[in-house]
Chains A and B, each alone.
Chain A
Amino acid sequence: MNELQIEFTLNGRRIKRLVKPYWRLLDLLREELHFTGTKEGCGAGECGTCSVFVDGALIKSCLMPVAKIAGTEIQTVEGLARRDAPSLLQRAFHKTGASQCGYCIPGMVMAATAALRANAEADRDEIKERLGGNICRCTGYQKIIDAVELARDVINGAMPEAALEEEASDSFIGADVRRIDAPGKVTGALRYAGDMTLPDMLQMQVLRSTRAHARILSIDTSAAAALPGVEGVITCDDVPGKDGFGVFVHDQPVMARGKVRYVGEAIAAVAAEDLETAKEAVRRIVVEYEDLPAVFDPEEALAAGAPVLHDYAPDNLVKHIPIHKGNVDDGFGLADIIVENSYTTQQVEHAYLEPEAGLAYVDADGVVTILAPDQNITHHRHMLSDILALPINRIRLIMSPVGGGFGGKEDMIYQGMLALMAMKTLRPVRLVFTREESITVSAKRHPARINYKMGLRRDGRIVATEIRAVCDGGAYGFSTEGVMRKMAILGPGPYDIPNVKVDTYGVYTNNTPSGAFRTFGAMQSQFATESHLDLCAEKLGMDPFDLRKINAMRAGSTTHTQQSLERASLLQAFDAAIAASSWEAGPPTVRGSNRTDLGGEGTRRSCRLDSRLRVEAGKPDGTRVRGRGMAGSWYGIARTAAMDRAGAWVELDDGGTAKVITGVTEIGEGILTVLAQVAAEELGLTPADITLGDNDTARAPEAAHAGATRQTYMIANAVALAARDARSKFDREMAEHWGVAQDRIKAANGTIWVQGSNLRMSMAEAVALCKTQRGYVPVGSASYTAHHTGLDPVTGAGKPWQAYVFGCQVAEVEVDTVTGEVQVLGIWAAHDVGRAVNPRGVEGQIEGAVVQGLGQALMEEYKTVDGHSSTDSFAKYILPTSLDVPQINSIIIEDPDPLSPLGAKGIGEPALVPTVPAIINAIYDAVGIRINSLPATPEKVLEALRAKRKRMSSSEAA
């Protein structure tokens, strides 16, 4: 191999290096120079996380052979500004809440910098165009675009620099406190697992199945093991304990055992001194397969005689969840109209920008330690204890910064291999997935086929709802059982219906597994419900809001699981959405062309990609038609139909600061900032005074996973209670010191005082006094419990949650009748969150959820052909870009939960539920076609328009 000597300038410093001829600029930056602010999201120029300047031009460094950079000047995110003095643009990102998980953000900052360098006067449309090559999966882009506009205005003097600072606030709960983790994200300083190295570290690679269903006759690893530089090869034979993982059923071995059940399943892993050697070793492993009949359709898998995937489930059924209330046959007998329809939803990829990655080592005390972006280290430690046959405290999981999760990083798909390899080699090992590996191997959103039957009275009362959903769970159980449960419980929607029959079935097939994904099944079933209600509203000639209001759950309503609701904010959400969107009432009878509420200030301009052209495109030619739709939604907060709990420790610390220790899982949603706000408020400090401990199973109390929209509800409440505990002990000491009653002690913003006196001191002084004069360290702890009960196995009756949230979205779309393309121009999203601890963070969650919903409604579809992925890259798996997103108008409703010490509930998942049906209903309003099968691609829309024209011409002929 002919290595190349290259010289170049990196962020102003001359560098000379010998490089491999095939390296990309990205490899040189990351692996050789450790400039890890430049991320690798896809390796194919399809995501923009690796954007850097070369001689002043922004390029994607994964597409630049390193030989090209000889003699050039490279600028990376680290070179934009020192990280202790960020650029105006980076500060603007901090201010507007433009970073969530942060993985796309260095690239996004680079693209935004390039945009303003190219045109310091760029308007919003031009900014969006210039950011069109950078994908963000968390934010929905809105706050990113806001940040670029803010920076532009500050740079141009239209806004003062002070606009970049945080607004002063006396109270931290309810304030737009800037994210505490944003500075490290906007500067590229934060290191994710794939950015980390350990001395003497080995690189790991995985051999994966090329067969959908096959018996493994033999695995010959001898040639791999013999390769110089290979330090370890593992297969299922290396598992010392009880092999099996999964969220509800432990049906998946760490590596294939006896047979493979899907393409991409891990079979063996290799660790070597470098990545090239590890890959070469993987190529040398020989697997002898005997193909088995495979099944790729869930209905076929349920049929008698279908190939069986797992011996324990001869019917291929992962789980059936029934919810039966009243008697639907009686209900249908009372109905004036009965409406039936079928709906299908597609398999959807999480597409977090950070591919899976992790490091593992066995520490000096023999503790097997795994560092990974892991959404549920609590559960993974439990499972690893069985798999590795080690006491639970000999296993330690540390959560590395998570570059997006959305449920996809709840599954333990590689941590077991890392642990085994560290144990085998007794050296640190690192595994970093490629994008293709991430897409083909990780679990997806369950595709569902839903048969729907609803009976209504002429006045709009729903008298019976019957839903049957069959869902493809893929090859392993993952979260299927829980997804089926939530899909069923929430399926009929937030409506008081006397007779309900819901049956959801999760089924094994030889497809890529399905698992947890934001809403956990609730969006699939509620997409059907909210589409169906539009059908019914049209038949009844009713406004879609009116139909839903008649049936809306209210305080005192009984849920489908026969739980009596003490509160319900649905009507508030409906009224808020109507008011904010200036909704023009009327039945959903394709009113699009006659509406007068279109194109208002809550919408954006239709995208024409012409902001930089000096000439105008043609005038509207009548081929683009607009319309509006709406949908309601509900959601349960925290773990479903099971007791939920979270713990926290708090210590008032030297200097008037505090340590807050809890196993919280920040996956980008902003929970760390929420906890800092809550702790500051409760302790009388400021958020900057709070030191948050890592999520580490060996160092922090259990707070479990990021999921089920549970973290603000469970963990912020645990932190609030632990802070109150610490404060109460501290106040007791201070009261004794001052000789006053404890209830007169107050503290805020770093000062403590006695009410009605002039006794006061700083918290720093008070903590020192408490320790040195009182001899007391003020520590507190707490656990917060949500008292949920399981469901009756026959009727589904039970109390799955104690807190519910309700929401409503209105969508305005433009359908291009030439191409079938749908642009969503505006979304009005009204959501109850209980209490918004950080309103800007709530907006960020709503915006991100809406755009994920938009992706599912219009473009995203994970496809397989005989079990082989045909959408294994971001070129084929299409995600929304900055040019595809609507203006999102968030309306926050606060209906505090009486059982929550903070009143707060949650927003992470619920905001995604109504987006898809609102968009689909709006398409109907615009052009009179109903898309029952997601996504509404341009092809599907035009096909439906063709069919509609055919119907109309044949009915005219008749």
Chain B
Amino acid sequence: MLTCDDYRLPRSLKSALEAWSKAPEGSRLVAGATDTLPWARQGRAGDIVGDVHVPLLVDVTEVSALDSYRLQDDGRIRLGANLVFQQFLEDENLARYLPHMPPCALWFADDQIRRQATIAGNIVNASPAADGIPPLVALNAEVEIASLHDQEVVHRNLPLVEFVTGPGRTQLQPGEIVTAVTCDTALGYGGAFEKVGHRRSLVISIVCTSCCLKPSQDHKVFDDVRLALGGVGPVPMRLDDVETFLRGQTISPQVIAAASEIPLDRVASRTRREYRRDVIRGFVDRSIRDALARCGISLPPTHRPA
């Protein structure tokens, strides 16, 4: 298990940044702690008796500036770092603006961990299989990062796709804390999330796909489509080529089938490549259909040989 010499729960961003910037080497920042505590066990980071010792744990969950969400003047939404995944299921307003997040949240861990696990934690943990990242990547998410300079809190922003640089690796610098994620809103869009693991609850993604899209008013063409994949490479990936292909296209099974062929070469995982290619094709197809269905558009099946 994880042991430490000290545990601090600062209440303001500034005091959190102070504690974090002065934290001894090896200290950890936590929010929900749902990734950190399992990490510190035998067979993962734990030593011969299954322990990890760190000097200090800085817990940011009491920092109220990181809570909640708000719509910005530029039409984007700002999700506080401490927003937990269960909120996407329980806050109907949030679900209207981010319609692909409730199905993502249902697949995310379980009801209990979702009450602890934060959006920023999922991003900073930077797992290639993170379920929370693809839906945000598809909405041009930016990560808001705070640090202290001359005792003043300063912020910088980075696109999420650039922030995550590899498995467990981000551009976060020592002393920095993620304070929020901002992204486009998708009001009036249909949302879908597909995931496969080895069971249907509390499971790590082998592949996941997030989709939200907006059909034209007459339901004939795709006005906008946002697609992203998780689990298929070192970092989550936006399918901008598929989005470009679909935007303005007629909504039809043939078009969707053609679109789902496009991303197959994007699989960069070192393992299970063939499998992931097969799944992506089907997931792109299925997630578009599900998202369309949630806009009231139902399509006939394309026959696929078993």
Chain A positions within 8 Å of B, measured between CB atoms, are 1-2, 4, 21-22, 24, 43-46, 48, 51, 57-60, 62-65, 67-68, 70, 111, 114, 129-130, 132-133, 205, 207-208, 210, 276, 279, 282-283, 434, 436-437, 440, 593, 607, 609-610, 612-613, 615-623, 625, 815, 817-821, 823, 858-859, 869, 872-873, 875, 878-884, 926-928, 937-939, 942-943, 945-946, 948-949, 952
Q: Is B149 an interface residue (CB 8 A)?
A: no
Chain A: minimal CB distance from B24 (Å): 13
* A283-B49 in contact (CB<8A): yes
Chain A: minimal CB distance from B298 (Å): 5
* A63-B113 in contact (CB<8A): yes
Chain A: minimal CB distance from B30 (Å): 7
When distances are taken between beta carbons in the complex, the residues of chain A under 8 Å from B99 are 615
Chain A: minimal CB distance from B56 (Å): 9
As a 0/1 sequence over residues 1 to 33 of chain B, the CB contacts with chain A under 8 angstroms (1 = contact) are 111111101000000000000000000001011
When distances are taken between beta carbons in the complex, the residues of chain A under 8 Å from B103 are 609-610, 613
Tell me the complex Cα distance, A593–B59, Å: 55
Chain A: minimal CB distance from B125 (Å): 14
When distances are taken between beta carbons in the complex, the residues of chain B under 8 Å from A620 are 301
16 examples of A-B residue contacts, CB within 8 angstroms: A22-B4, A44-B41, A45-B37, A45-B38, A46-B202, A130-B111, A133-B109, A283-B49, A593-B306, A612-B106, A620-B301, A623-B301, A819-B279, A820-B279, A880-B199, A938-B275
Pick the contact of A57 from B44, B115, B274, B275 — CB < 8 Å?
Answer: B115
When distances are taken between beta carbons in the complex, the residues of chain B under 8 Å from A622 are 301-304
* B112-A58 in contact (CB<8A): yes
In the A-B complex, list the 5 residue pairs whose CB atoms are closest, starting with the nearest.
A133-B110, A818-B282, A132-B201, A21-B7, A44-B38
When distances are taken between beta carbons in the complex, the residues of chain A under 8 Å from B305 are 949, 952
| Known contacts A282-B49, A609-B200, A613-B103; is-contact A22 B278 (Cβ 8 Å) | no
* A943-B274 in contact (CB<8A): yes
* B43-A621 in contact (CB<8A): no
Pick the contact of A207 from B48, B113, B302 — CB < 8 Å?
Answer: B48
* B282-A43 in contact (CB<8A): no
Q: Is B221 an interface residue (CB 8 A)?
A: no
Tell me the complex Cα distance, A823–B206, Å: 17
Pick the contact of A621 from B3, B6, B198, B301 — CB < 8 Å?
Answer: B301
Interchain pairs with CB closer than 8 A, number: 236
* A618-B292 in contact (CB<8A): yes
Pick the contact of A943 from B48, B113, B275 — CB < 8 Å?
Answer: B275
* A884-B200 in contact (CB<8A): yes
* B274-A946 in contact (CB<8A): yes
Tell me the complex Cα distance, A939–B271, Å: 11
* B306-A4 in contact (CB<8A): no
| Known contacts A65-B33, A65-B59; is-contact A616 B41 (Cβ 8 Å) | no
| Known contacts A43-B1, A67-B9; is-contact A878 B116 (Cβ 8 Å) | no
Tell me the complex Cα distance, A619–B202, Å: 26
Chain A: minimal CB distance from B88 (Å): 11
Residue of B1, B7, B207, B306 with highest tally of chain A CB at under 10 A:
B306
Tell me the complex Cα distance, A945–B282, Å: 14
Tell me the complex Cα distance, A366–B197, Å: 54
Pick the contact of B48 from A283, A615, A942 — CB < 8 Å?
Answer: A283
Tell me the complex Cα distance, A107–B7, Å: 27
Q: Can you name the residue of chain A whose Cβ is closest to the Cβ of B103?
A: A613
| Known contacts A22-B4, A63-B33, A434-B50; is-contact A623 B282 (Cβ 8 Å) | yes
* A942-B279 in contact (CB<8A): yes
Q: Is B57 an interface residue (CB 8 A)?
A: yes
When distances are taken between beta carbons in the complex, the residues of chain B under 8 Å from A282 are 48-49
Q: Is B102 an interface residue (CB 8 A)?
A: yes
Pick the contact of B116 from A64, A593, A618, A820 — CB < 8 Å?
Answer: A64
Q: Is B196 an interface residue (CB 8 A)?
A: yes
* A878-B275 in contact (CB<8A): no
Q: Can you name the residue of chain A whose Cβ is closest to the Cβ of B107?
A: A609
Q: Can you name the residue of chain B whose Cβ is closest to the Cβ of A952?
A: B305
* B304-A132 in contact (CB<8A): no
Tell me the complex Cα distance, A622–B282, Å: 11
Chain A: minimal CB distance from B87 (Å): 11
When distances are taken between beta carbons in the complex, the residues of chain A under 8 Å from B113 are 45, 60, 63, 133
Q: Can you name the residue of chain A whose Cβ is closest to the Cβ of B203?
A: A878
Tell me the complex Cα distance, A100–B2, Å: 32
Q: Is B176 an interface residue (CB 8 A)?
A: no
| Known contacts A623-B304, A872-B42; is-contact A21 B1 (Cβ 8 Å) | no
Tell me the complex Cα distance, A475–B51, Å: 27
Tell me the complex Cα distance, A719–B70, Å: 69
* B290-A618 in contact (CB<8A): yes
Residue of B48, B112, B201, B285 with highest tally of chain A CB at under 10 A:
B112
User: How many residues of chain B have a CB within 8 Å of chain A?
Assistant: 76
Residue of B37, B49, B115 with highest tally of chain A CB at under 10 A:
B49
Tell me the complex Cα distance, A869–B306, Å: 35
Q: Can you name the residue of chain A whose Cβ is closest to the Cβ of B48?
A: A283
Question: Which residues in chain B, 273-292, are within 8 Å of chain A measured between CB atoms?
Answer: 274-275, 278-279, 281-283, 285-286, 289-290, 292
* A881-B303 in contact (CB<8A): no
- Extra contacts, 19 of them, besides A618-B286, A872-B43, A948-B306 (Cβ < 8 A), are A1-B5, A22-B1, A22-B4, A44-B38, A65-B37, A133-B112, A208-B48, A283-B47, A436-B42, A610-B103, A617-B293, A617-B294, A819-B282, A820-B279, A873-B43, A881-B200, A884-B201, A927-B306, A928-B306
* A817-B7 in contact (CB<8A): no
Tell me the complex Cα distance, A620–B198, Å: 22
Q: Is B183 an interface residue (CB 8 A)?
A: no
Chain B: minimal CB distance from A930 (Å): 14
* B200-A132 in contact (CB<8A): yes
| Known contacts A613-B106, A620-B301, A872-B43; is-contact A607 B200 (Cβ 8 Å) | yes
Tell me the complex Cα distance, A609–B48, Å: 39
Q: Can you name the residue of chain B whose Cβ is closest to the Cβ of A945?
A: B306
Tell me the complex Cα distance, A283–B51, Å: 10
| Known contacts A67-B9, A609-B103; is-contact A114 B111 (Cβ 8 Å) | yes
* B202-A817 in contact (CB<8A): no
| Known contacts A51-B112, A942-B278; is-contact A859 B289 (Cβ 8 Å) | no
| Known contacts A59-B112, A114-B111, A873-B41; is-contact A938 B201 (Cβ 8 Å) | no
* A43-B33 in contact (CB<8A): no
| Known contacts A48-B112, A609-B106, A617-B293; is-contact A133 B275 (Cβ 8 Å) | no
Q: Is B252 an interface residue (CB 8 A)?
A: no
* B201-A65 in contact (CB<8A): no
Tell me the complex Cα distance, A762–B202, Å: 55
* B2-A817 in contact (CB<8A): no
Chain A: minimal CB distance from B149 (Å): 28
* A621-B302 in contact (CB<8A): yes
* B61-A68 in contact (CB<8A): yes
Question: Which residues in chain B, 82-112, are within 8 Å of chain A measured between CB atoms?
Answer: 89, 99, 102-103, 106-107, 109-112
Chain B: minimal CB distance from A286 (Å): 12
Q: Can you name the residue of chain A whose Cβ is closest to the Cβ of B279?
A: A819
Chain A: minimal CB distance from B1 (Å): 6
* B111-A133 in contact (CB<8A): yes
Chain A: minimal CB distance from B224 (Å): 18
Q: Is B123 an interface residue (CB 8 A)?
A: no
Tell me the complex Cα distance, A593–B303, Å: 13
Tell me the complex Cα distance, A949–B281, Å: 16
When distances are taken between beta carbons in the complex, the residues of chain B under 8 Å from A68 are 9, 33, 59, 61
Tell me the complex Cα distance, A763–B115, Å: 56
* B7-A22 in contact (CB<8A): yes
Tell me the complex Cα distance, A616–B192, Å: 10
Chain B: minimal CB distance from A622 (Å): 4
Q: Is B34 an interface residue (CB 8 A)?
A: yes
When distances are taken between beta carbons in the complex, the residues of chain B under 8 Å from A111 are 111-112
* A613-B293 in contact (CB<8A): no
Residue of A64, A623, A884 with highest tally of chain B CB at under 10 A:
A623
